[in-house]
Amino acid sequence: MRPIIGYTLGDQAGIGPEVIGKALASPELPQHADYMLIGEYIPCTPGQPTQATAEAAFRHLELAARALKEGSIDAVVTGPVCKEGLHSVGFRYPGQTEFFADRLGCTDFAMCLSGDTLTVGLATIHVPLSDVPRLLCTDELVRIGKLLADFCRRIGKPEPRIALAGLNPHAGENGAFGDEETRIIAPAVARLRSECPAARFSGPCVPDSVYREAAAGHYDAILAPYHDQGLIPLKMLDFDTAANITLGLPRLRISPDHGTAFGIAGKNIASHASTLRAFQLAVKSTLPHL
Domain borders along the chain are 1-106+249-289, 108-238
Model confidence pLDDT, tens digit, residues 201-214: 999 999 999 999 99
pLDDT at 246 over 80: yes
State how far the alpha carbon of 161 is from the alpha carbons of 40, 142, 165, 222, 238, in Å: 41, 15, 13, 9, 20
> What is 1-106+249-289's CATH number?
3.40.718.10
- The amino acid at residue 212 is R
pTM here? Answer: 0.93
Model confidence pLDDT, tens digit, residues 10-44: 999 999 999 999 999 999 999 999 999 999 999 99
Model confidence pLDDT, tens digit, residues 38-53: 999 999 999 999 999 9
Confidence of residue 173 (pLDDT cuts 50, 70, 90): confident
| Percent of all residues in the chain with a pLDDT value above 70, rounded to a whole number | 99
- Give residue 187's pLDDT: 98
Q: Is the dihedral of CA 255, 257, 263, 268 positive or negative?
A: negative
pLDDT at 275 over 80: yes
Question: DSSP letters of 18-79?
Answer: HHHHHHHH-TTS-SSSEEEE-S------TT---HHHHHHHHHHHHHHHHHHHHTSSSEEEPP
| Percent of all residues in the chain with a pLDDT value above 90, rounded to a whole number | 95
Mean pLDDT within 82-88: 96
- Give residue 150's pLDDT: 96
- In this chain, the answer to whether the domains covering 1-106+249-289 and 108-238 adopt an identical fold is yes
State how beta strands 110-114 and 119-122 pair.
Answer: antiparallel
Average confidence score pLDDT of the chain: 96
Mean pLDDT within 197-201: 96
| Contact present, 103 and 65 (Cβ < 8 Å) | yes
d(CA 179, CA 146): 23
d(CA 202, CA 163): 5
Those residues whose C-beta lies under 8 Å from the C-beta of residue 79, and which sit 6 or more positions away, are: 7, 8, 9, 10, 11, 14, 16, 17, 19, 20, 57, 255, 256, 275
d(CA 156, CA 170): 32
Mean pLDDT within 208-223: 98
pLDDT at 289 over 70: no
Can you identify the CATH homologous superfamily of domain 108-238? Isopropylmalate Dehydrogenase (3.40.718.10)
d(CA 169, CA 166): 8
User: How far is Cα of residue 128 from the mean position of the Cα atoms in its chain?
Assistant: 21
- Give residue 290's pLDDT: 41
